[in-house]
Chains A and B, each alone.
Chain A
Amino acid sequence: MTSTWQPLDHFLLMRGDDCLVLGHRLSEWCGHGPVLEQDMALTNIALDLIGQARLYYQYAGARLGQTEDQLAYLRTERNYFNAWLVEQPNGDFAHTIVRQFYYDWYENALLEVLEGSADEHLAAIAAKSRKEARYHRQFSSEWVIRLGDGTEESHQRMQVALNRLLPYVRELFENQPRHQMLIADGILSDVNGLWEGTEKEMKAVITEATLSFPVAAALPARGRDGLHTEHLGYLLTELQYMQRTYPGLTW
């Protein structure tokens, strides 16, 4: 069911899929945000993330002889490698912000090390994405604080969202056996090692927000192997509708 991908291609797709799937989720907010300014802010992040996804797909596509659209629109669930966190539905604004917050801290930590990748192209993508990622992290962290320390209702909603989504976070920081060679070659670094520092920083923000960092067991998430929650199928059905219905046309 799944194709065999070279380690680097798998990594590029994994990164592209994280960005595209989360960008797609955020784009579902467009026109429905709690206030116009935040509607625009979420759209901005969606635009950045889809833009980043394209960089990874274009690089992978050049290696694989495929276009970015073929990679985005013609792969099935079992060949999508995003983490479970990013495919989770938007829920209320609290869930969207918390999902973003967890993801942003992960992405920043990862990009920081990818900037030093032995693969120059990957390092360049990381350097370009990092400016945007920093801004996203600032945005989501500020909203965690604002909503955590806002009203009783917002505080409660935020704690529910933090608890609900934390079990998805550890997957982001798991080393993939198929990336061993990339780590050995200095293309990628040990992501597991990024967890401790990142957790500490997230905790500091959550504490400032008067919220508590959840204690929760990690889920047996295997998005990186193309095993997903039930949500991704629907997301891809919508995303890929046109390309599936009218194969091979130019839009």
Chain B
Amino acid sequence: MTTESLTRRFQDKIDQELKIEPKDWMPDAYRKTLIRQISQHAHSEVVGMLPEGNWITRAPSLRRKVALLAKVQDEAGHGLYLYSACETLGIRRETLIEELLSGKAKYSSIFNYPTLTWADIGAIGWLVDGAAIMNQVPLCRCSYGPYARAMVRVCKEESFHQRQGFEILLTLCQGAADQKAMAQDALDRWWWPSLMMFGPSDKDSIHTAQSMRWKIKRFTNDELRQKFIDMTVPQAEVLGLTIPDPELQWDEASGHYHSGPIDWEEFGQVLRGNGPCNAERLEARQRAHQEGTWVREAAQAYAAKQIEESKKVG
């Protein structure tokens, strides 16, 4: 069959909402796009463990400590599912991790911001996991089967994380003045970076059109960002917190909130490696990897010996 007819059959399948599976023929560009997106997603889960991990040893109660520890562990699990999904495209996890550690692969810029107070743990759960859900729920219908299925598992846990984050903030907002101020400060710092999680605005997004044709993406960046704002503003009202956007107001005509302009200069800076924690995050991953080298080698050597042994016995 010619590439042309294969491509047509492939696109037909997608148009009929059928899933593409690892053994199916797929265009190179589709495979590359998925590898880039899924690995970036996996790296984000793993690097995302760091800012929240920063508060595990200082969590304010045993209940919160256990919940945060379990949450960060969930993110490690998400990283694992996603690396596995990515491996079905014919690339090894080791290679993907090398790309992260060398700085070649990207991860979500949101994790280059620091967690300065306990309220940041609430804000991350509420806003960052909240934004992640907005992005990921449509991915449960992604045309690539393994990615879609990984997302179904991930989304269940993310919505739990979001509720947990909101509940942390609600406790603060119902508490002492210091606690409420801590919550407001966290919202002030995390609001705009959370909106940037949806990526560049549609007119500047280079991948969107093709990804929509391939049904990897179902909504544009701006559509998802708007959905997120519409969902989050009423929740901020419940908390009694003020969203740090003076232009924010309900627009009767469109049925959406109108919001002010995003500082894309800041977005670009963080993306280029000049965010507050880019170097630290990468170094932490590099250190863990490097210090773990002897452990991984020993585990491999031991496994190899076991195989040898079983051959002798067998």
A54 to B171, CA, bound (A): 21
Query: Which A residues are closer than 8 A to B by beta carbons?
Result: 20, 24, 27-28, 30-40, 43-44, 46-47, 50-51, 53-54, 57, 68-69, 72-73, 92-93, 145-147, 149-151, 153-154, 157, 238-239, 241-243, 246, 249-251
Taking a contact as CB atoms under 8 Å apart, the answer to whether B72 and A31 are in contact is yes
A to B CB contacts below 8 Å, 6 in the list: A30-B69, A32-B287, A35-B296, A38-B295, A50-B69, A147-B299
Is A47's CB under 8 angstroms from B175's CB? Answer: no
Q: Which B residues are in CB contact (< 8 Å) with A37? A: 80
- Quote the shortest CB–CB distance from A90 to chain B (angstroms): 11
- Chief secondary structure at chain A's binding surface: helix
B88 contacts chain A at the CB level, 8 A cutoff? no
CB of B24 within 8 Å of the partner chain: no
Given contacts A40-B77, A146-B299, A239-B57, contact A249 B179 (CB under 8 A): yes
Q: Are A154 and B76 in contact (CB under 8 A)?
A: no
Beta-carbon contacts under 8 Å, B58-103 to A: 58-62, 64-66, 69-70, 72-73, 76-77, 79-80, 83
Q: A47-B70, A251-B118 are in contact. Are A154 and B298 (CB under 8 A)?
A: yes
Say whether B62 contacts A69, CB under 8 Å. Answer: yes
Q: Is the Cβ of A34 less than 8 Å from the Cβ of B73?
A: no
Give every chain A residue within 8 A of B118 (Cβ-Cβ): 242, 251
In the complex, which residue of chain B has the Cβ closest to the Cβ of A146? B302
Give the complex CA separation of A57 and B63 in angstroms.
12
- Contact, CB under 8 Å: A44 / B73: yes
Instruction: Name the A residues within 8 Å of B305 (CB-CB).
Output: 149
Contacting pair B175 A43 (CB below 8 A):
no
Q: When the two chains form their complex, are residues B176 and A154 in contact, meaning their CB atoms are under 8 A apart?
A: no
Given the known A-B contacts A43-B69, A93-B292, A249-B179, are A31 and B61 also in contact in the complex, defined by CB atoms under 8 Å?
Answer: no
Contact status B66-A51, CB under 8 Å:
yes
Name the residue among B49, B178, B297 with the largest chain A CB count within 10 angstroms: B49
Query: Of the candidates B73, B178, B298, which one forms a contact with A147 in the assembled complex, judged by CB atoms under 8 Å apart?
Result: B298
Q: Could you tell me if A151 and B298 are in contact, using CB atoms closer than 8 angstroms? A: yes
B46-61, CB under 8 A of A: which get 1 and which 0? 1001100100111111
Contacts of A47 in B (CB 8 A): 66, 69-70, 73
A24-B57, A153-B294, A238-B58 known; A36 vs B301 contact (CB < 8 Å): no
- Judge whether B79 and A36 touch: CB under 8 Å: yes
Q: CB-nearest residue of chain B relative to A157?
A: B294
